[in-house]
Amino acid sequence: KPTDFWAAVNKKIAQLSQHPKVTQVSHAQASTQWEQVLPMELNDDQNPFSHFINPDTSIIRCELHFANANDVIAFYKDAQKNQWFNATAMKVHVMSNTLIYDYINHNIAKTLFYSLLTSGIAIVLMLFFITRSWKQAFIGLLPNAVPLSIAVWVFSIFGFSLNILTAITATVCIGLLDDDTVHLLYRRFVLKQPVDTLANSIVNTAILLAVGFGFFLMSDFYPTQVFGGVSALVFVFGILGELTLFQVLMDWIERKGQKS
């Protein structure tokens, strides 16, 4: 019956809208007589009900407004926990762009973690193959981790969103940064030669990479701008780490080897 249907709808809407995170509720009010809500009237855009009820009156839409994305996620978790979406008189479906973006970002972050983990393991194995020392291999990974931590700091401070394009920033950067590490380790510990002559080539490479990726800042697509800008910044800090921190670490390894 129409009255029973409206009673069930209002009961469910009242249950959902009482959540403390909900700031506003928009729906078809029950105060209007159901008999006045005719399918032909619902085809009229001027009818306020047309935005919340489909013409055959089989679907009722209710909009719950929240202050921010975290409130949407908190509401959804509470609703699932308390089984608010379960109803006998109707089927309740929930849709939120925020929840979709949260799911996508969660999977992107998980994929990025496994990608960096795989890349890190591959780099350590490659450095071990060159130096035949696990200590040198793991220490050789540190200069690459420092500029990547700078990228994480930039994303956090400036609030850059993590998406499919910006997520590959770290993977691309670590794949290019380890090239200098290989040259330095091989020359210092395998060839037993000074690395001074490599400084110019390493600096030139870093400048070319930073300038090349910096051109992405001219793009009209925002994620591309973030990708290019953060990558250029990572390469700048990467060369600083190679010429300072990595030199200190290599000297420390060499002194430890001489003492032993």
Alpha-carbon distances of 145 from 27, 156, 234, rounded to whole Å:
51, 17, 10
pLDDT surpasses 80 at 35: no
Q: Are residues 154 and 224 in the same domain?
A: yes
Task: Answer whether 33's CB lies under 8 Å from 3's CB.
Answer: no
Residue 63 or 9, more confident: 63
Task: Answer whether 146's CB lies under 8 Å from 245's CB.
Answer: yes
Q: Are residues 9 and 79 in the same domain?
A: yes
| Single residue among 76, 95, 114 that ends a domain in this structure | 95
DSSP conformation letters of 3-51: HHHHHHHHHHHHHHHTSTTEEEEE---TTS-GGG--HHHHT-TTSGGGG
Task: Answer whether 170's CB lies under 8 Å from 116's CB.
Answer: yes
Q: Are residues 122 and 251 in the same domain?
A: yes
pLDDT surpasses 60 at 25: yes
- Mapped onto helix, strand or coil, the DSSP state of residue 64 is strand
Query: Residue 231: which of 215, 217, 213 has the closest Cα?
Result: 213
Q: Are residues 146 and 205 in the same domain?
A: yes
Q: Are residues 239 and 120 in the same domain?
A: yes
Residue 169 belongs to what domain range?
98-259
Q: Are residues 88 and 157 in the same domain?
A: no
Q: Are residues 128 and 251 in the same domain?
A: yes
Alpha-carbon distances of 123 from 95, 116, 142, 176, 182, rounded to whole Å:
42, 10, 11, 11, 9
Q: Are residues 85 and 104 in the same domain?
A: no
Task: Answer whether 153's CB lies under 8 Å from 170's CB.
Answer: no
Residue 28 or 145, more confident: 145
* Tokens (6 digits) for 200: 């110019």
Residue 34 confidence class, pLDDT cut points 50, 70, 90: very low
Tokens 């709808």, residue located: 9
Q: Are residues 6 and 48 in the same domain?
A: yes
Percent of the chain with pLDDT over 90: 1
| Single residue among 80, 95, 110 that ends a domain in this structure | 95
pLDDT digits (tens, 9 = 90+) for 53-99: 666 666 777 788 888 878 888 888 888 888 877 766 667 777 787 77
pLDDT digits (tens, 9 = 90+) for 198-246: 767 788 888 888 899 899 989 888 888 888 888 888 888 888 888 787 7
Q: Are residues 24 and 148 in the same domain?
A: no
Domain count along the chain: 2
Q: Are residues 102 and 91 in the same domain?
A: no
Look up the CATH number of the domain holding residue 196.
1.20.1640.10
DSSP conformation letters of 107-176: HHHHHHHHHHHHHHHHHHHHHHHHHS-HHHHHHHHHHHHHHHHHHHHHHHHHTPPP-TTTTHHHHHHHHH
Residue 42 or 11, more confident: 11
Task: Answer whether 42's CB lies under 8 Å from 57's CB.
Answer: yes
Whole-number Å distance between alpha carbons of 184 and 199: 9
Residue 9 or 207, more confident: 207
Whole-number Å distance between alpha carbons of 70 and 132: 49
Point out the least confidently predicted range of 32-41, 69-78, 104-113, 226-235: 32-41
Q: Are residues 213 and 154 in the same domain?
A: yes
Residue 50 confidence class, pLDDT cut points 50, 70, 90: low
Whole-number Å distance between alpha carbons of 127 and 39: 72
| Single residue among 95, 120, 137 that ends a domain in this structure | 95
Residue burial 11-21, b: 16+ Cβ < 10 Å; e: rest = ebbeebbebeb
